[in-house]
Amino acid sequence: MTDTALVQPEQRRPGGALRFLWYRQVDHYPDTGPRLWYLAIAVLATIMLYYELYDAGTVSTDIIAQFHMSFLYYVYISVVGNALGAFGSLFAGLADRWGRANLVVYGLAITGLLILFGIPNAHSEWAFAIVLVAVSLVEGVILVATPALIRDFSPQLGRAAAMGFWTLGPVMGSLVSDLVATNTLPHLPPWQDQFIICGIAGLGVFAIALFGLRELSPRIRDQLMVSIRDRALIEARAQGIDIEEGLRHPWRQMLHLDVIGSAFGISVFLIIYYTAVGFFTVYFTTIFGFTVPMADGIGNWFWAFDAGALVVFGLLSDALRVRKPFMIFGATGAIVMTIIFLTRATHPTTGYYTFVWMISVLSVFLAITYAPWMASFTETVERRNPALTATGLAVWGWIIRVVIAVSLLVLPALVSSATPLVTYGAKVKAIATKYGPQLATLTAYGPRVEAIARSYPTQVKALQSIDPTTLATLQANPSSSAAIGKAVSEISAGLHVSSLVALGDLVAVSKVPKSDLAYLAAHGAAVAKADAAIPPADLAYVTAHGTDVAAAAKQTPSQWQHWWWVCVGGEVVFLPLVLLMTGRWRPKRAKQDAQEHERRVREEMAKLGIPTAAS
C-alpha cells in the first residue's frame, strides 16, 4: 500500500511554502514519537489557555478595587463569558468537518493578543469585561478542539491516561496562574503585570503550535481505535470511508440521553471546581483574612495534588480497563471532603495548613472522578459515532458552560453580602489595623461626645479651653471665685474673646447637665485626640463603609456555607448519571471485551490480506 493510496483527492496537500499555516493533516496514524509530540502540544495549548482564562482570579480583589466594580458585576462577567463560551463550544462542533488543529492554533493567537494588549490597557470596567468575555468565547472553542485531538491520537486502552494529561490543562493552568502570582506579586504589585506575563507566554505557545501541531485526516480519525494494534487495519479501512455519510445529521446523532445526561452530570459535579477557580482568592481573603499571595498559595496545593492524581488514576483506570468504579469512588470522596470543607466557613480562625490538607484531599477525589469520566465520555460518544467526536464534545462543552453560567447567577443570591467585603473590606481592614486604638476610642465614646457637642456647641468649645484641674475644682466648688476667674481667663485665651464674653460662656457651661459635663471631662479629650490622629479621608472611608463591612463579615460565612452545600448537591446528582455511560464495572469483563476485540481485528486483517505482524 502506497502513501498516495491513502490520500484522497480532496485532501491532497496544497502547494506553496506557507502551506503549514493552514494544512496540518497527517494521512497515516503516527508512530509513538510524533504521536506523543502532538499530544504534548495539545496539552500545552490547553494549559496555556486556562492559564489565560484563570489569571484574573489570582488578582480578582485588586481588579474589583481598581475599577470600583461590585462583586456582583465581577460575577456577571463570568456569567456572560460562560454563556458565550457555550456557543463557542457549539461552533467547535464543526471541527468534525473542518478539523481541530487550526481552531487551537489560531485560538491561541487571539487569546495571547487579548491578554497581552487588551486587558492591561483596559481603563474601565466595561473594557475589562469585554476583553475577558472575548477570551472566554475562544476558550469555549478550544475546550472542544483539544480533547478531540487527544481522543484522535489515543486508543481506548490508553484513553484515561491521555485524558488525564489533557485535564492537566485546566488544573495546571490554575496552578501556573497561582504560582506566577504568588512569586511575582510581591515584586510586581500592579495586577496588569500578571496579564503581561501571561500574554507573552501565550504567544510563545502559539508559536510552538503553529509549527508543531498536526491532526489526523478524517478517514483515519473517524474510526474506532481500541488498541494501538488496530493501526494497520484502520489505515486499510480508510480508503473506503464515506466521510459525508458519517457526518450526516450530527446533532441528531449526539442528542441522546447517554451523551446529554453524562455531560450534565459532570457539569454539576464540577461546580465546586469552577468556584475554586474563580472565587477561592475572594473566599480566603474576605472570610479568613489571608493575604492574596497566601490565598493563591492554598490554590497551589489544590492544583498540584489534582494534577498528580489525574495522571496516576488515569493510568490506573487504563490498567484495570474500567472507568465507572473510579467515578463512583471519587465522587463519594468528593462529597465527604466538600462537607468537611464547608463546616469551616463559620470558623474564621481556621489555620492555613488546615485548609491545605482539606482542599488537597478534595482535589485528589475530584481527579479520581474526572480523568476516567473524560475517557468514558469519549467512548460513549464513539459508541454513537466515532466520526462525530467533536460534535459530542461540543454538546458537553455547551452544557458545562450553561451550567456554570447558571450557577454563577445563583451564587450572588446566596452570597449577597460579599460585595462590601470584596469592595471595601481590604481598605477598611488596613485602616483599622493602622488606627485600631483610635478607632476603638471613637467607636466607644465618639457617638455620645458628638451628640453632646451638637446639643451644646458653644459650651463644648468653652469647656475644651478650660484646664481639667480648673474644671475639677469648679465641679467640686462651683462658687470658688479663684476657679471662676481662672476658668474665664482660660476661655478668653483659648477662644480669643473678651473676659465678658468668656464669663458668659462659662455661665452657659454651668447649664449643661452634670452627667454630660462628666462624660466630656472623662472622654472628650481622648475623642478629640483620636479624631485628630486619623486622616480625614480614612476616617470618612471607615465611617461610610465600616458598618456595612462589619455586617457583611457576620453574614457572609454562613452564606458561603449555603453555596458549598449547593456544590455538594451537584456532586450527589452526578452519581446516578454515571450509569448512563458506556464501559464495564469489573476489570475481568473489560479484559474479556479487549480480547474479543483483538480476535475480531485479527480476523478482519486476515480477510484483507494484511499480515498479522503489520498490526
pLDDT in tens, 23-52: 777 777 677 788 788 888 888 888 898 888
pLDDT computed for residue 605 by the predictor: 59
- The more confidently predicted of residues 260 and 70 is 260
> How far apart are alpha carbons 198 and 325 in whole angstroms?
38
Distance of alpha carbon 237 from alpha carbon 310, whole angstroms: 34
Position 321 confidence tier, pLDDT thresholds 50, 70, 90: confident
Q: At what angle do helices 352-384 and 324-343 cross, to 10 degrees?
A: 150
pLDDT of amino acid 2: 36
Distances 264 to 87, 109, 209, 403, 466 between C-alpha atoms, Å? 16, 31, 31, 8, 76
Environment class of 44 (CB within 10 Å of its CB; exposed 0-12, middle 13-18, buried 19+): buried
Q: Measure the CA–CA gap between 431 and 224, rounded to whole angstroms.
A: 64
Q: What's the pLDDT at 332?
A: 96
Q: Is 463 exposed, middle or buried (0-12, 13-18, 19+ CB in 10 A)?
A: buried
Q: Report helix angle 32-58 to 159-184, nearest 10.
A: 40
Question: Which residue's C-alpha cell is 456557543?
Answer: 87
Evaluate if residue 560 carries a pLDDT over 50.
yes
C-alpha dist (Å) from residue 238 to 24, 99, 233, 280, 614 = 18, 17, 9, 49, 16
C-alpha 551/C-alpha 561 separation (Å) is: 17
Antiparallel, parallel or unpaired: β 215-216 and 25-26: parallel
Q: Is the pLDDT of residue 604 over 60?
A: no
Nearest to 463 by CA among 498, 508, 432, 425: 508
> From the CA atom positions of the chain, what is the Rg in Å?
34
| Cell triple for 229 | 494494534
Q: Give the residue carrying C-alpha cell 480476535.
A: 599
Q: Nearest to residue 422, comparing CAs of 41, 64, 154, 2?
A: 64
3-state helix, strand, coil split of the chain in percent (to 5) is 85, 0, 15
Question: How far apart, in Å, do the first and last CA atoms of the chain sit?
Answer: 14
Q: What is the pLDDT of residue 612?
A: 59
CA-based nearest residue to 393, from 270, 268, 274, 263: 263
Cell numbers representing residue 326 in the block: 473510579
Q: 154: how many CB neighbours lie within 10 A of its CB?
A: 23
Domains of the chain: 22-429+548-614 (1.20.1250.20), 430-547 (no CATH)
CA distance 225 to 177: 36
496: left (phi over 0), alpha (psi -120 to 50) or beta: left
Question: How many Cα atoms sit within 13 Å of 541 on the Cβ side?
Answer: 17
What is the percentage of the chain residues whose pLDDT exceeds 70? 82
Distance separating alpha carbons of residues 396 and 91, to the nearest angstrom: 12
Query: Angle at Cα 539 formed by Cα 348 and Cα 123, nearest 5°?
Result: 80
User: Is pLDDT above 70 for 117?
Assistant: yes
**Inter-residue contact 277 to 366 (CB < 8 Å):** no
Give the confidence band of 1 by pLDDT, cuts at 50, 70, 90. Answer: very low
Grid coordinates representing 563 are: 453555596
Of the ranges 169-173, 186-190, 245-249, 599-603, the best mean pLDDT one = 186-190
Cα angle: 552, vertex 406, 581; to 5 degrees: 130
Quote the distance between the C-alpha of residue 150 and its chain's center. Answer: 24
Do residues 117 and 65 lie in contact, with contact meaning Cβ atoms separated by under 8 Å?
no
Q: Note the pLDDT of residue 371.
A: 86
Q: Stretch 13-28: mean pLDDT, rounded?
A: 63
CA–CA distance, 248 with 385 (Å, rounded to integer) = 11
Q: Compute CA distances 365 → 269, 313, 368, 557, 567, whole Å.
A: 12, 10, 5, 25, 14
